[in-house]
Amino acid sequence: MNSLNIDGGRTLSGEIELSGNKNAILPMIAASILTDQEVTLHNVPDIIDVENMLEIASLLGVEVSRADNSVTLKAANISTTSIPRLLSSKIRTSLLFAGPLLIRCGSAQFWPPGGDVIGRRRLDAHFYGLTTMGAVIVSEYTPFSLKSSALLGKELFFDEASVTATEHIMMTATLAEGVTVIRNAAAEPHVQDLAEFLCSMGAEIKGIGTNTLTITGKEKLHGTEYRVTSDHIEACSFLVMSAITGGELTITGTTPKHYWMMRRVFEKFNIQFSLEADRIYLPGNQELKIKQDLGNAIPVISDGPWPQFPSDMMSCTIVMATQAQGTMLFFEKMFESRIYFVDRLISMGANAIVCDPHRVVISGPAKLKGSEMSSPDIRAGMAMLIAALSAEGHSVIHNADIIFRGYDSLIDKILSLGGLIEKS
């Protein structure tokens, strides 16, 4: 595993261009096997998770070729419907191949998916959707095994607005016979982008961007050429990075509506940024000061399904609170292990009280000092990196490959902003 060496205390200013959305490209790779024709994806981030998904696709028999930031896939011949344990364990979205394999080949075998250890991440909605549409569970113990002679459109109601389950059932329903309705569907930007990608392949999906999706199954989907939307989670990370170091930042390649809730949260810290048609501008030297709620109450930042504040943005925002004047309560509703990285911040000098697995109170500003630590997951790792960039002295972050799973050209982008960082 690689480590990152960081010398903090520098102002990070400049301009970066966002990479493609990690959480959009991964399901698109799985969805590419819904057709035997060529699919080309542009603005593909060069990250470890993409490599893992492409490795699975190649193992299944998909022809894969890469050129610059583009990937071309052709699933003319599926050679196996079984995903090995090691590849399944490397990435959460490995299970998204199950539905397309059922459609194309009538069977799918896979192991429990991997990904970040941030709490319990249920698979029930995936099996509920697939079995309601006609799939049969051959084995509900590992490895999982499913088969189907035909999948039929059904009316479904998810007991939670699961992103991956919405993506999984939506892509599978595009070739199921009849009409599928998904209620309480997730509506995050990457879910919307996947839906638009499927439509470019000939799918019929109504309600994109809402919590009710209606998918009319087609006999066949065709090849396509599609540009992946930019990553709003990456944008949040760099906005926090510049804001806490007093920097001025321009981010290009953005979609304004993806940042409405993020802007409201930044306003709680007295931080303003402007949203233009394809860019965000963050002025420099803004004072980080937490605004009290009415009645002088301690404000709360909590996460939830889109369009609420995304869970993936919580870790970096917690770091921002350590450098702001005032007190903020963070309520992580979705995952019971995401808050635990705060122990690393405390060791750096942060003033934090971890109330329980879901809540932490941060008071600032605190003078952070460089430290040696290890990254537990993608977003916590990025948050620790931001803390190290704002701290006095030298920091080392071990297990840094976890961060590279989600951030393209991370070191180059930080160096371009004036940060001091190197990989070892």
Yes or no: say if 132 and 156 are a contact pair by the CB < 8 Å rule: yes
Tokens at 282, concatenated: 């963050």
Residue with tokens 């930007």: 189
Q: Which residues contact 317 (CB under 8 A, 6 or more apart)?
A: 236, 240, 265, 301, 330
CA distance 272 to 290: 13
- According to DSSP, the residues that pair with 29 across neighbouring strands are none
- CB count in 10 Å sphere of residue 221: 23
CA distance 65 to 72: 5
408 catalytic, yes or no?
no
Tokens at 134, concatenated: 């006609």
- CB count in 10 Å sphere of residue 17: 14
Tokens at 398, concatenated: 């071990």
Residue 255's closest CA among 162, 188, 199? Answer: 188
Q: How far is CA 237 from the centre of its chain?
A: 12
Residue 333's closest CA among 353, 354, 314? Answer: 314
Residue with tokens 């492409």: 54
The active-site residue, picked from 116, 231, 377, 408, is 116
Q: Which residues are marked as active site?
A: 116
